[in-house]
Copies of this chain bind each other. A is one copy, B any other.
């Protein structure tokens, strides 16, 4: 395997670090192998390997996906916490650095981190001997393993990435998943992006600059009904609110409902990183094009299994 450890960098920190070559020739084929292993009930390729799971905020879904990826490869999560947070504000990154220096003394084989402040994973990786896997920056930031699983989901459902028209919908300026996915899509050809959001939560300028540089055309919209008939993928995201209120519908049309599914292509797909609040109505769940509770979850497991396999047993 030529690019073990991502060309010498042993950590998974941001979407930019992956080359198209690696994505196509190593990552995607390996996720299929992982799917086979899962269907067979797992394997023992990571037997004896120890993973730490350090979450500075609870995250049931991402944490379980990483732990089950380790489980189905025969490795073990020997320490997990959702309470890693120690101080409320000051000197947080210095404390994170100390923490990673300390836990490396126990010789873990991998450390999964979700940090709640700044870009902690990058900072942690800089002092870590053990490979660090970023399980999600604080928003806005990145969520690289989500981007990889999203790419894998699209590839499996559509058979290719090149040439696709993809709508990203919702609170785009804070959404780490759409930000990371944009970085990955920028490596492919013929992609057209549609950003559908209220004006004040549009996609960040840094991502737009990146897309310009990589010659990925994008357009900004406020009505998903206009975009739905055009696209191959609708990637809906959660309004970044804890109160469950809808996006302000007076500003446009941002939810995926039966109206939208009625407008979509037959072979398009609907994705969502979860948790969902109101932005996809539940009567859409049984639509065959809705993959957020099925294929997208499975691809999450297979993508993380693939990453752990590459990092912890590259030659096995």
Contact = CB atoms under 8 A, between A and B. Distances in A.
Contacts of A81: 58, 60, 63, 82
A103 interface: yes
B60 A86 contact: yes
Given A81-B82, A90-B244, A91-B277, 17 more contacts: A54-B60, A60-B83, A60-B84, A63-B81, A64-B106, A71-B78, A82-B83, A87-B242, A87-B275, A88-B243, A90-B243, A90-B245, A90-B277, A91-B278, A97-B282, A98-B274, A98-B293
Interface stretch (A176-184, A262-270, A294-302): A294-302
A206 interface: no
A106 B61 contact: no
Interface in A87-106: 87-91, 94-95, 97-99, 101-103, 105-106
Contacts of A50: 71
Contacts of A297: 102, 105
A102 B274 contact: yes
Contact of A301 (B78, B97, B106): B106
Interface in A227-278: 242-245, 274-278
Contacts of A68: 78-79, 106
Contacts of A242: 87-88
Contacts of A60: 54, 81, 83-84, 86, 99
Contact of A87 (B79, B244, B274, B282): B244
Contacts of A98: 274-276, 293
A61 B297 CA distance: 32
A282 B94 contact: yes
A67 interface: yes
10 contacts: A67-B78, A68-B78, A68-B106, A71-B78, A87-B242, A91-B277, A97-B282, A98-B293, A99-B275, A102-B274
Nearest to A243: B90
A64 B98 CA distance: 14
Given A82-B83, A90-B277, A277-B91, A102 B293 contact: yes
Contacts of A103: 64
Nearest to A105: B297
Interface in A285-307: 293-294, 297-298, 301
A105 B301 contact: yes
Nearest to A55: B83
Nearest to A57: B83
Interface string A66-83: 011001000000110111
B277 A105 contact: no
Interface string A142-168: 000000000000000000000000000
Given A68-B79, A71-B50, A88-B242, A105 B275 contact: no
Nearest to A69: B106
A247 to B, nearest CB: 14
